[in-house]
Amino acid sequence: MRELFEGAVKFKEEDYLNHKELYENLKQEQNPHTLFISCVDSRVVPNLITNTLPGDLFVIRNVGNIVPPYKEDSNIRSGYLATTSAIEYALIILNIKNIIICGHSNCGACSAIYESKQQLSSTPYVQKWLELLNPVKQRVEELKPNSISKRVWLTEQINIEYQLENLITYPFVEEKFDSGELNIYGWYYIIETGEILNYNMIKREFRPIQNKYQK
């Protein structure tokens, strides 16, 4: 904890002063341009990997960068409200124009779905949450990967595809996306190389993000 306390002092004395005007402008309201949905993994730092400043990103983080599928109003109280309410707030209240779902390499959630219930018995909440990834597991198993490393690679990327599909099940997301008011992206971040792959929703493939901006 000592490092964290020292870091807080350093932030106030150095980093804050470098962006003092920005923070003063942010005191009344926020106006982020992008909703960034990522895993809670400590190695994934949204503002760092996007080179953005405070106020640019509205961030949702959960185990496995999961977007729960949409539920009708009659079932709203049984939904996963922490994530879904943040998506709703981002689009309806903040009128955000971009959404990025960012998965990553060596994802613990994507590995855990192949563990037995007994192995996950000490973490019942995690176990329940990861049930949302059962369709991802089924898709991967249908492809019959011939190694664990290939299975992991496929799972992490198919998970991003699946969460994009879930995102579009929300009527207010679909409406904005279809009208051109909203851009949606899927990213795959490779921790050990710093490379980010962008998912092409038409060609259904991941390609490295180059120097020139690409959709």
Q: Is the pLDDT of residue 213 over 60?
A: no
Place of tokens 């009208």: 179
C-alpha angle 136-62-113 in degrees, rounded to nearest 5: 35
- What domains, with CATH codes, occur in the chain? 33-208 (3.40.1050.10)
Asked if residue 129 lies in contact with residue 66, where contact means CB atoms within 8 angstroms, the answer is: yes
Give pLDDT, residue 206: 96
Asked if residue 99 lies in contact with residue 107, where contact means CB atoms within 8 angstroms, the answer is: no
Largest CA distance in the chain: 55
Global model pTM greater than 0.85: yes
CA distances from 77 to 43, 85, 108, 120 (A): 32, 11, 28, 26
Q: Is the pLDDT of residue 162 over 90?
A: yes
Give pLDDT, residue 80: 84
Among the listed residues 35, 67, 83, 64, the one whose alpha carbon sits nearest the alpha carbon of residue 156: 64
Q: Is the pLDDT of residue 171 over 90?
A: yes
Over residues 127-147, mean pLDDT: 96
Over residues 9-35, mean pLDDT: 91
Question: Residue 37 and residue 163: Cα distance in Å, rounded?
Answer: 10
Which stretch, 14-18, 25-29, 109-113, has highest mean pLDDT?
Answer: 109-113
Asked if residue 109 lies in contact with residue 64, where contact means CB atoms within 8 angstroms, the answer is: yes
Give pLDDT, residue 194: 95
7 by Cβ neighbours in 10 Å (0-12 / 13-18 / 19+) ranks as exposed
Over residues 140-160, mean pLDDT: 95
Percent of the chain with pLDDT over 90: 79
pLDDT in tens, 90-108: 999 999 999 999 999 999 9
